[in-house]
A and B are shown apart, each in its own frame.
Chain A
Amino acid sequence: MTEPSPIRTREGARFGSVVREGLLYVVRHPLRSALTALTSAVAIAVTVNVISLSYGLDEDVRRDVARFGRLTIDVGRLPVIASGVERPHLGDDAVARVRDRTADLDAVVVPRRQVSGRATGAATLERIQVVGAPPTYLSTLGVEVVAGRWLETVDGDGRDAPGACALDAEAARQLFPDVALEDVIGRTIQLRVQDLDQTMTVVGVLEDPLTYRALFETFDEGRGARTLTSSLLSFRNVYVRETTIAGDEYTGISIALPDEARIETARDRLAQIWPNAMKDGQPVFLSGLGVFVRKDWMDALGASTATGAMLGNIIWIIIVLVAVIMISTLNLITIRERYDDLAVRRCEGATRHDVALQITVEGVVTSVLGGLAGLPLGYAGAAVLRDIVDFPFRFDPAYAGIATLIAAVLGLFSSVVPARRAARLQPATVLSRRLT
């Protein structure tokens, strides 16, 4: 084992004594330190709150959206309102073309017919999306069946044989209020689609992938302007067999692929038949069919929520900056009161560097102590806010680590100016002024 060099040992001891001096000052002035720490505590409490809110929300939204079927591509009519343009045809020939182009990709091709209808269970929903698709439809989504089972080929369509349907959890809750999802299985609903009344038995309920549905729907005034195809991902649908809804035209064709690599291949092949519809938010074509890759949309939506989280950062950065400036100003004033002490320390042999270090240690220790006190304060505040506002605050131990780091940085930054001021003082000038 090598002996530490004498110089390094001396420097280490010196550093230790300066740190000790700083800590002693904090302990000897408990009231002043506590008040400064409280400022840091409040700033950190707000920071914990805002980070919990914005990053928690961002992560939850990304997770929810990922369950919409990340590996699915949709072919459908363009979401463009333009009068006098020819209406595109989407029938069995299109399904055959898709099957042909994706035959070697292990793709599941699911044509879908979707109409608005009226459903009556224990309650009546005047307008609900009814989705008619083969049983393979479930593979286009990333959600699970939470009660009962998914539709099977043995299930009837309600036209020639007793009908079966599956419900999204939200549809089940609205059609059968106050009934547990498992107890909805086996109940019947009256479904009116295409001017026909059909009795359908509920065989399964899908889980709700939207964690904050109630909150978002409260403020979602744009839902009435959303197209049928987009409404599908609101997960408030009734699913029936493909023959329940009659017609030659499909609303869309979904193609579920086994992995991301094959999405790219399928996209390229399908885009050769139906070029991508939108570019930079503007439609490239006014009518026709387009290829929509859900992954792209999810990534774009994820980027939007990430931007929201970034905007949330501005709030806590402002709060922390305010705290830095206030504590810094306070420390500056405090330093003036301590000129005599610091001048004596300089006379005793402390260097400018030692004095600056001592002030910095004091600042960082006070801030970190305040920050640690601010963590439970932040959690408590968030819990109260969550009850009042019903807003999704989500905690993660990592956020506490980040907040403590921010507290240390807060202490460091608020000590820079006071430490420089303290280091610059001339002991002779200070003490001579004192003596005269």
Chain B
Amino acid sequence: MRIASTLSLALRRLRRRPIRSLLLLQGTVWGVAVAIFPAAVIQGTRITTVTQAEELGADRIAAVADPTSASEVKLAPADVDHLRAYLEGVGHTVTSAAAVQVDGPLPTAEGVTVLRSTPEGPLARGLELEAGRWFGTDENDACVVEAQVGTVLGRSLALGDTLAVAGTERRVVGIMKPRSQAQLRTNDLGFDLEHAMYKGVAQQFLMAMGIPYVKDDAWKRTDACVYVPVDADATVDWLYVRVDPSQLSAAGKSVREGLVSRGKTVLTLYPIVLPVILGDEVNRFDAVTIAMFLACLVMGAVVMANLGLLNALSRSREIAIRRVEGATRSDIALHFLMEGIVLSLIGCGLGCLLGMGLAELRVQVEPVTGFTWTFPTTHALIACGVAVVIGVLAALFPALRASSQDPVRGLAHD
């Protein structure tokens, strides 16, 4: 009852000057926001990376010949078996692997791209079968089609239908599931090609860092490719390997090393930001976040303590009257403490909201597909706990000073 009445008194005082309270609360608000916003983005993106690795391409490595090498690098279907064996030999789990050669558009329909590939081509590229099966290595009268091939051709395609591809009538033995718009917009490096930040900043930055411009990869994002078997002795453009997402970075290194032993220099393309987010190294920046959090909080606490002191001085008459009316010293101290706690709690609430706002803003400006945020409960609880403790400590000193005032002197002075 006593606490409730003190609480309502404290709330009334804070409500009387909301703008002033809000301005003084800034330290706590920014402190809590700074503490939880990076954690919100890292946690959210980690969860998405793990749960939606296939959709984000966070389990997929594409290898392509280095365009700047002195002698021409020729990749071959046989490299796939070699890579699979090499990767498994050094401890990686290979989900699927394939070699893909871009044969060009279908003569009858520019929008459909013919790909010659080893049987698991679409699977290694991250697509899933909707119906049917893969073709066999030498099944030259078979093909597998992606979801939009029928739409582009202006006809419905079903299993068993025939399609004239590369001069041969081929049976459709497999149909792939359509991919999401986000997948279709994302390139092998994990960037959203339609994002303004990618077009405006990231692309130039990547090129300045020596990452080449991939010119002819529009087919990767059409959902309108037809897969037919590749000849064993053919040269291929792309090798694809899918691995455990947690091994992506290490497997990428192994792919490069595995092909050097075959005398081939390749570039490996995979989402370059997601492994950083998944790694432990990013946690070392927690110290910076904590430092900023504490700096903001100390500023907030100092201002709150200062305000409390001023209150204790300026409200000496009010305190004296309350004492004369029967309020004990502990009542007065409790009132000041309550104001501190209420201020801190409101600051924490607003800080959490601001933190979420900052996280959303960060996600919006990020051109990497898969960047998202989630509410970091543990971080928020710790941040708010520390903020309230510091707030209480800041309120304690003025509270003790106010409660120790002699009511007679307080009234006589006035």
Contact = CB atoms under 8 A, between A and B. Distances in A.
Contact of A323 (B210, B267, B299): B299
A280 B269 CA distance: 23
Contact of B261 (A38, A87, A118, A194): A118
Given A251-B70, A281-B207, A323-B299, A80 B310 contact: no
A401 interface: no
Interface residues of B, number: 73
B246 to A, nearest CB: 14
Interface residue SS majority, chain A: helix
Contacts, number: 216
Contact of B24 (A35, A329, A385): A329
A83 B237 contact: yes
A32 B215 contact: no
B167 interface: no
B393 interface: no
A236 B67 CA distance: 20
B257 interface: yes
B252 interface: yes
B216 A226 contact: no
Given A42-B295, A221-B272, A286-B215, A84 B70 contact: no
B275 A81 contact: no
A127 B260 contact: yes
A337 B307 CA distance: 12
Contact of A80 (B67, B72, B252, B255): B67
B1 interface: no
Contacts of A36: 302, 306
Interface string B257-296: 1001101010111101101100001101101100110011
Given A36-B306, A78-B67, A79-B67, A225 B314 contact: no
A313 interface: no
B288 A389 contact: yes
A118 B213 contact: no
Interface string A303-330: 0100000000001001100110111111
Interface string A33-59: 001101100110110010000000000
A46 B209 contact: no
Contacts of A283: 213, 215
Interface in A213-233: 218-219, 221-222, 224-231, 233
Contacts of A49: 291
B298 interface: yes
Given A35-B309, A221-B272, A390 B284 contact: yes
Interface string A256-288: 000000000000000000000010111100100
B412 interface: no
Given A46-B295, A114-B70, A222 B211 contact: yes
B189 interface: yes
B102 A222 contact: no
A343 B121 CA distance: 86
A219 B278 CA distance: 11
B291 A227 contact: no
Interface string B304-328: 0111011001100000000000000
Given A35-B305, A115-B265, A218 B281 contact: yes
B299 A322 contact: yes
B13 interface: no
A435 B120 CA distance: 94
A301 to B, nearest CB: 6
A251 B68 contact: yes
A77 B287 contact: no
Contact of A42 (B209, B249, B282, B302): B302
A421 to B, nearest CB: 13
A326 B295 CA distance: 14
Given A281-B207, A286-B215, A322-B27, A83 B260 contact: no
A45 B302 CA distance: 15
A235 interface: no
Nearest to B21: A329
Contacts of A228: 66, 68-69, 265
Nearest to A377: B295
A330 B303 contact: yes
A194 B261 CA distance: 10
Contacts of B268: 224-225
Contacts of B98: none
Contacts of B291: 49, 381, 385
Nearest to A222: B272
A81 B214 contact: yes
A225 B211 contact: yes
Contact of A219 (B256, B281, B298): B281
Most chain A CB neighbours (cut-off 10 Å) among B208, B263, B269, B302? B302
Most chain B CB neighbours (cut-off 10 Å) among A194, A326, A385? A326
A342 B361 CA distance: 46
Most chain B CB neighbours (cut-off 10 Å) among A115, A116, A282? A116
A329 B23 contact: yes
Most chain A CB neighbours (cut-off 10 Å) among B217, B255, B269, B303? B303
B57 to A, nearest CB: 13
9 contacts: A42-B295, A77-B68, A80-B215, A90-B70, A221-B249, A221-B275, A225-B267, A318-B30, A388-B287
By Cβ-Cβ distance, the 7 closest A-B pairs, closest first, are: A230-B210, A79-B212, A126-B257, A224-B268, A82-B215, A281-B204, A221-B272
Interface of A: 31-32, 35-36, 38-39, 42-43, 45-46, 49, 76-84, 87, 90, 113-118, 126-127, 194-195, 218-219, 221-222, 224-231, 233, 247, 249-252, 278, 280-283, 286, 297, 300-301, 304, 315, 318-319, 322-323, 325-330, 333-334, 336-337, 381, 385, 388-391
Interface of B: 20, 23-24, 26-27, 30, 64, 66-72, 102, 104, 189, 203-217, 237, 249, 252-253, 255-257, 260-261, 263, 265, 267-270, 272-273, 275-276, 281-282, 284-285, 287-288, 291-292, 295-296, 298-300, 302-303, 305-307, 309-310, 313-314
Given A226-B210, A304-B208, 4 more contacts: A78-B68, A219-B281, A230-B209, A337-B314
